[in-house]
Amino acid sequence: MHALPYWRLSGYYFFYFAFVGAFSPYFGLYLQSLNFSAWDIGLLMSQMQLMRLFGPNLWGWLVDRFGRRMIIVRLAALIGLAGFVAFFWLERLPGMLVAMAVLAFFWSAALPLVEMLTFDHLRDDCGRYSRIRLWGSVGFIVAVMSTGALLDWVPPVGVLWVCAGILAGILVYALVLPEAPTASGQGAFQPIGDILRQPKVAALMAACFMMSAAHGAFYVFFSIHLAAHGYAKTEVGLLWSLGVLAEIAVFVAMARLSRRYSLRAILLVCFWAAVLRFLIMGWGVDSVALMVLTQLLHGLTFGAYHASAISAVNRWFPGKSQGRGQALYSSLSFGAGGLLGALISGRTWDSLGAGWTYSLGSGFALIGVLLIWRWVHETPAVDGH
């Protein structure tokens, strides 16, 4: 009987998303302390999305063809840490762009492969995915709260030390993660183009692109947005953590929800929630109650959305196509969509202001609603039960 390495998988997710919790909310504030403009900050932060266009697809192709995914996961962790350490000596835009690109190219390579590894360990018990993935959300909360509290007492450069320590943790867990019997790598190879020509698959990928574009301004500027309206860094951390607590609650309930509701119904609710969330985020920042509401909606706009989308990809890209299916999901959504959202928000933040920048994000989510409503029709429960 195959033993599920629950805690090793959960530990990897914990540190992987702890890095997101320390990096995404606070690295922009560090860049702001170096007197970078909004455009420069958007350009630097968008490297994480830009490299997701290329890294996951390259690594996914290599794994589908040659296997050896754990070597890639471990190499990605090692070089990602090395790339980040360069920030301790860099303060000018060209050098920081190179370091960010190296970090992003290798850091983004690992997650789609670990997602595939997790599903291979789970086999036919995919409903337990959310129970493992929620530890990533716990890691995010621990990092965002502790880093926010720390930065109320130390200079913004403190975020570099926190992130470097977390990346070292990712490397440790990458070294102890066990390979799984490659259930997802068995079977005949189905061309990716044939799968993408299915209307439901193409529509889902396009909608995922829109959802990530909708989140672009949130991930780059939300902390700056709050700080500009008088929120302390600890309060910023609390709001980020609240969003992830909502995400955890959804992950815990996801197996039950996915048995009761169709993929289409869950995704429609998630995209409508994003339309509402970013309108409120842009125009209601002075109200603490409204900011609490926007962060509670994160449980839908990320938690339920991501669990549903990744389970659909796991089923719709069968056999040896799964590695590239997960890579496509990562690169088209978090990569291309996130890149578009980050660059547009960097360009409009100073010229149009926060309200209209977040309204553009709401418009992206509305396009996602239309794509899901028109082409993703009723399907069995997302966890396959």
Look up residue 136 and give its two tokens: 């990533």
* pLDDT tens track, the chain, 385 positions: 467 788 899 999 999 999 998 998 899 889 999 989 988 998 898 888 788 777 777 777 777 677 678 888 999 899 999 999 999 998 888 999 999 999 988 887 788 788 888 888 887 666 677 788 889 988 988 998 899 889 888 998 999 999 999 999 999 999 999 887 665 445 556 777 888 889 999 999 999 999 999 999 998 899 899 999 999 888 998 998 899 889 889 988 887 888 889 989 999 999 999 999 999 999 999 999 999 999 999 999 999 998 899 888 878 887 667 767 877 888 888 888 988 998 899 899 989 999 999 999 999 999 999 999 999 975 444 443 3
3-state helix, strand, coil in the chain (%, to 5): 85, 0, 15
Give the pLDDT of residue 254.
86
pLDDT (0 to 100) of residue 307: 87
Residue 256 pLDDT: 86
Write down the pLDDT at residue 14: 96
Q: Quick one: which H or E segment has residue 42?
A: helix 38-45
CATH number of 6-182+189-375: 1.20.1250.20
pLDDT value at position 106? 87
Q: What is the pLDDT of residue 383?
A: 42
Question: Tokens representing 162?
Answer: 């926190």
Q: Tell me what pLDDT residue 2 has.
A: 61
Q: What is the DSSP string of 207-230?
A: HHHHHHHHTHHHHHHHHHHHHHTT
Q: Which residues of 28-67 are buried (b: 16+ CB within 10 A; e: fewer)?
A: bbbbbeeebebebbbbbbbbbbbbbbbbbbebbebbbeee
pTM attached to this predicted model:
0.76
pLDDT at residue number 185: 46
User: What is the per-residue DSSP string for 295-351?
Assistant: HHTHIIIIIIHHHHHHHHHHHHS-GGGHHHHHHHHIIIIIIIIHHHHHHHHHHHHHH
**pLDDT number for residue 385:** 34
